[in-house]
Amino acid sequence: MAKQYETVIGLEVHVELATKTKIFCGCSTAFGGAPNTHTCPVCTGMPGSLPVLNKKVVELAMAVGLATNCKIHQFCKFDRKNYFYPDNPQNYQISQLYLPICYEGGIEIETPAGKKIVGIHEIHMEEDAGKLIHDEWEDCSLVDYNRSGVPLIEIVSEPDMRSAEEVIAYLDKLRLIIQYLGASDCKLQEGSMRADVNLSVREAGAKEYGTRTEMKNLNSFKAIARAVEGERARQIELLEEGKKVIQETRRWDDNKESSYPMRSKEDAQDYRYFPDPDLVPVIISDEWLEEIRARQPELRTEKLLRYKKEFDIPDYDAGILTGSKRMADIFEETTALCGRPKKVSNWLMGETLRLLKEEGMEPEELSFSPENLAKLIRLTEDGTINQTVAKEVFEKIFREDIDPQAYVEEHGLKTVSDEDELRRVVEDVIAANPQSVSDYRGGKKKALGFLVGQTMKAMKGKADPGVVSRILTKLL
Amino acid sequence: MANIISDETMEYVGILAKLELSDEQKEQAKKDMARMLDYIDMLNELDTSGVEPMSHVFPVNNVFREDEVANGDEREKILKNAPAKKEGSFMVPKTVE
- Say if residue A428's pLDDT is above 60: yes
B80 vs A: CB within 8 A: no
Decide: helix, strand or coil at residue B90: strand
Which pLDDT score is estimated for B57?
Answer: 84
Rg (CA), chain A: 29
pLDDT value of residue A173: 94
The neighbouring-strand residues paired with A117 are: A108
| pLDDT number for residue A445 | 80
What pLDDT score was predicted for residue A233? 95
Q: Is A44 within 8 Å of B88 when comparing Cβ atoms?
A: no
Q: Which domains does chain A have, with CATH numbers?
A: 5-287 (no CATH), 298-410 (no CATH), 419-475 (1.10.10.410)
What's the complex ipTM?
Answer: 0.90
Digit-coded pLDDT (tens) for A21-41: 999 999 999 988 999 999 999
Cβ atoms of A151 and A125 within 8 Å: the answer is yes
Structural element, H or E, at residue A94: strand A92-95
The minimal CB distance from B88 to the residues A35, A40, A85 is found for: A35
Given this model, what pLDDT does residue B1 score?
66
Gap between the Cα atoms of A259 and B30, Å rounded: 41
Backbone angles phi, psi at A51, to 5 degrees: -75, 140
Crossing angle for the helix pair A434-441 and A419-432, to the nearest 10 degrees: 100
pLDDT of residue A267: 58
pLDDT band at A262 (very low <50, low <70, confident <90, very high): confident
pLDDT at A190: 85
Asked if the Cβ–Cβ distance from B67 to A54 is below 8 Å, we say yes
**Using the beta-carbon criterion (under 8 Å), do B61 and A275 form an inter-chain contact?**
no
CA distance B82 to chain A (A): 10
Which of A301, A305, A204, A219 lies closest to A255, judged by CA?
A219
A142 to chain B: which residues are within 8 Å by CB?
86-87, 89-92
**Are A41 and B60 a contacting pair at CB < 8 A?**
no
For B59, nearest residue in chain A (alpha carbons): A280
| B78 touches A at CB < 8 Å | yes
Distance separating alpha carbons of residues A125 and A96, to the nearest angstrom: 6
CB-CB under 8 Å, B88 with A34: yes
pLDDT band at A263 (very low <50, low <70, confident <90, very high): low
CB burial readout A153-179, b (16+ within 10 A) else e: bbbbbbbbbebbebbbbbbebbbbbbb
Q: Is residue A265 scored above 60 in pLDDT?
A: no
Predicted TM-score (pTM) of this structure: 0.84
Please tell me the predicted confidence (pLDDT) of residue A473: 81
Tell me if chain A has a CB within 8 Å of the CB of B58.
yes
pLDDT at A393: 93
For residue A441, count CB atoms less than 10 angstroms from its CB and return exposed for 0-12, middle for 13-18, buried for 19 or more: exposed
Residue A454: what pLDDT?
A: 85
Q: What is the pLDDT of residues A74-112, one digit of tens each?
A: 999 999 999 889 999 999 999 999 999 999 999 999 998
Q: How far apart are CA A224 and CA A9, in angstroms?
A: 12
Provide, as residue numbers in chain B, all residues whose Cβ is less than 8 Å from the Cβ of A85.
95
CA distance B28 to B5: 11
Q: How many CA atoms lie within 13 A of A244 on its CB side?
A: 4
| pLDDT beyond 80 at B88 | yes
pLDDT-derived band at B97 (thresholds 50, 70, 90) equals low
A438 C-beta neighbours (distance < 10 Å), count: 11
Q: Is the pLDDT of residue A431 over 90?
A: no
**Cross-chain residue pair B68–A143, CB shorter than 8 Å:** no
pLDDT score of A475: 79
User: Distance (Å) from the C-alpha of residue B2 to the closest C-alpha of chain A?
Assistant: 23
The amino acid at residue A88 is N
Q: Where are the alpha helices (DSSP H) in A182-314?
A: 221-240, 286-295, 300-311
Q: Which domains does chain B have, with CATH numbers?
A: 7-44 (1.10.20)
Angle subtended at Cα A460 by Cα A354 and Cα A372, rounded to the nearest 5 degrees:
45
The amino acid at residue A256 is K
Q: A130-156 pLDDT, tens per residue?
A: 999 998 888 899 999 999 999 999 999
Taking only the tens place, the pLDDT of each residue in A327-343 is 999 999 999 999 999 99
- Burial class of residue A239 in the structure, from the number of CB atoms within 10 Å of its CB (0-12 exposed, 13-18 middle, 19+ buried): middle
Query: What mean pLDDT do residues A272-290 have?
Result: 95
Give the pLDDT band (50/70/90) at residue A414: confident
Is A40:B78 a contact under the CB 8 Å cutoff? Answer: yes
Q: Which of A34, A36, A275 sits opposite B79 (nearest CB)?
A: A36
Give the residue from chain B lying closest to A276, CA to CA.
B56
- At A440, the pLDDT band (50, 70, 90 cuts) reads confident
Residue A262: CA count within 13 A, CB half-sphere: 14
Q: How many CB pairs under 8 A join A and B?
A: 133
> Which of A83, A280, A289 should one mutate to test binding to chain B, selecting the residue with the greatest count of B CBs within 10 A?
A280
Contacts B64 to A, Cβ<8 Å: 52-55, 58
Average pLDDT, chain A: 92
Q: Supply the DSSP symbol for A352.
A: I
The model's confidence at residue B31, banded by pLDDT at 50, 70 and 90, is: very high
Separation CA A200–CA A9 (nearest Å): 7
What mean pLDDT is predicted for residues A347-363? 93
C-beta of residue A198 within 8 angstroms of C-beta of residue A13: no
| Most confidently predicted of A13-17, A187-191, B9-13, B14-18 | A13-17
How far is Cα A435 from Cα B27, in angstroms, rounded to an integer? Answer: 109
Q: How many other CB atoms are found less than 10 A from the CB of residue A418?
A: 8
Angle at CA A217, nearest 5°, toward A211 and A221? 95
Which residues are registered as beta bridge partners of A155?
A13, A123
Residue A266 in this model has a pLDDT that exceeds 60: no
Alpha carbons A132 and A129: distance in angstroms, whole number = 10
Distance of alpha carbon A212 from alpha carbon A76, whole angstroms: 30
| Rounded mean pLDDT, A289-306 | 94
**B75 CA: distance to closest CA in chain A (Å):** 5
Using the 8-state DSSP alphabet, how is residue A365 labeled? Answer: G
pLDDT of A238 above 60: yes
What number of other Cβ atoms are within 10 A of residue A287's Cβ? 8
Residue B26 confidence (pLDDT): 95
* 8 A C-beta contact, residue A36 and residue B90: yes
B9 touches chain A (CB under 8 A): no
Please provide the DSSP assignment of A289-335 as one string.
Answer: HHHHHHHPPP-HHHHHHHHHHHH---HHHHHHHHTSHHHHHHHHHHH
- Least CB–CB distance from B97: residue in A28, A144, A262: A262
With beta carbons less than 8 A apart as the criterion, state whether A344 and A312 touch.
Answer: no
Nearest to B95 by CA among A36, A131, A252, A81: A131
Contact A216, A252 (CB under 8 A): yes
Q: Tell me what percent of the residues of chain A surpass a pLDDT of 90.
A: 72
Q: Residues near A135 by Cβ (< 8 Å), separated by ≥ 6? A: A141, A142, B86, B94
pLDDT at A423: 83
